[in-house]
């Protein structure tokens, strides 16, 4: 009985689509939020940006993370709307070709992913800024005296010192990618067809729309297995780099 549910899940034709979508979300979020977000934090903590603007930009970038996922989702259904939406109107103003965005089965999931990058990159940036602020000043001064430039200091001192925080950010981003639910629910609902389906939404739909608690439970276990395994691997990898 239980094994049957697993068989049903793995042989479901939506399964590869949602696995692909969750992985795409995960990879892009790691590159943009964790990768670029960290670089942005380094820029904000370097001396290039004036002191007053530092905290201004940092707070500004953080604002989208304070808006609920539902509100952001609904806002972006308007922004991506093909006729009246912000993006297509902007494209038309510059006489560029327009697209169907959320209504296009090839683009839909990437529109949702782009929206999340807009919302959460500033979040990671803030967390990394906080970690970089805790790096002892004497280390940086000593390195500067030894002739290390800003990039060298960032790579050899700031990032290693903020490694714990970077690890936490990475784990939470990865786990978030496999828990993904509200963003898709509020924008495409998994459509068009099942093209933007993800595991979290699939679980919800199986349990509360199709009354298939078995399938939902199995999906939940699968999500849990992925997130726990990835966390353990990440912690191991970072630990082994340490000594």
Partner 1 sequence: MKKLTVNILLNLLCVILGIIIVAPLAWILLNSLKTNQELFKDSLALPNVWQFGNYVKAWNLGLYRYFGNSLLVSLISLTGILVTSSFLAYGLTRFRAKGSNIIFIIVLGGMALSEQVALVPLYKILRALKIYDTYAAVILPYIAFRIPFTVFLMRAYFISIPAELEEAAVVDGYNSLQIFTKIIIPISKPIFASCAIVNLNFVWNEFLFANVFLNNKALQTIPIGLMTFKGDLKIDYTTTLAGLMIASAPLILLFICMSRQFVRGLTSGAVKG
Query: Closer to partner 1 at the Cβ: 27 or 63?
Result: 63
Q: Does 123 interact with partner 1 (rule: CB under 8 A)? A: yes
Query: Closer to partner 1 at the Cβ: 158 or 186?
Result: 186
Q: Is the dihedral of CA 65, 126, 37, 53 positive or negative?
A: positive
Q: Does 32 interact with partner 1 (rule: CB under 8 A)? A: no
Applying the rule CB under 8 A, the residues between 131 and 170 that interact with partner 1 are: 133-134, 165, 168-169
Per-residue burial over 115-143, b if 16 or more Cβ lie within 10 Å, else e, is: bbbebbbbbbbbbbbebbeebeeeebeeb
Applying the rule CB under 8 A, the residues between 44 and 83 that interact with partner 1 are: 44, 46, 48-49, 53, 55, 57-71, 74-76, 78-79, 83
Query: Closer to partner 1 at the Cβ: 61 or 101?
Result: 61
Per-residue burial over 69-82, b if 16 or more Cβ lie within 10 Å, else e, is: beebbebbbebbbe
Q: Does 230 interact with partner 1 (rule: CB under 8 A)? A: no
Per-residue H/E/C for 135-196: CCHHHHHHHHHCCCCHHHHHHHHHHHHCHHHHHHHHHHHHHHHHHCCHHHHHHCCCCCCCCC
Applying the rule CB under 8 A, the residues between 80 and 109 that interact with partner 1 are: 83-86, 89-90, 93
Contact 73, 186 (CB under 8 A): yes
Contact residues for partner 1, defined by CB under 8 A: 40, 43-44, 46, 48-49, 53, 55, 57-71, 74-76, 78-79, 83-86, 89-90, 93, 118, 122-123, 126-127, 129-130, 133-134, 165, 168-169, 172, 175, 179, 181-182, 185-186, 200, 203-204, 207-208, 213, 216-217, 220-221, 223-224, 227-228, 231
């Amino acid at each position: 009985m239980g094994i049957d549910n697993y068989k049903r899940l793995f042989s479901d034709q939506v399964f590869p689509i949602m696995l692909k979508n969750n992985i795409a979300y995960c990879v892009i979020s790691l590159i943009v939020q964790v990768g670029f977000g960290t670089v942005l934090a380094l820029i904000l903590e370097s001396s290039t940006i004036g002191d007053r603007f530092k905290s201004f930009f940092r707070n500004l970038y953080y604002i989208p993370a304070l808006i609920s996922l539902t509100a952001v989702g609904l806002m972006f259904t308007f922004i991506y709307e093909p006729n009246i939406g912000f993006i297509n109107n902007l494209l038309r103003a510059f006489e560029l070709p327009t697209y169907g965005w959320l209504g296009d089965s090839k683009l839909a999931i990437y529109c949702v992913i782009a929206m999340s990058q807009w919302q959460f990159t500033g979040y990671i940036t803030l967390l990394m800024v906080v970690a970089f602020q805790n790096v002892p000043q004497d280390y940086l001064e000593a390195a500067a005296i030894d002739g290390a430039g800003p990039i060298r200091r960032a790579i050899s001192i700031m990032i290693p010192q903020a490694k714990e925080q970077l690890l936490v950010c990475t784990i939470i981003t990865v786990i978030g990618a496999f828990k993904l639910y509200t963003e898709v629910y509020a924008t495409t609902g998994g459509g068009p067809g099942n093209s933007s389906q993800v595991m979290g939404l699939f679980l919800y739909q199986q349990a509360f729309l199709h009354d298939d608690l078995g399938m939902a439970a199995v999906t939940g276990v699968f999500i849990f297995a992925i997130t726990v395994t990835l966390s353990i691997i990440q912690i191991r990898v970072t630990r082994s780099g340490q000594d």
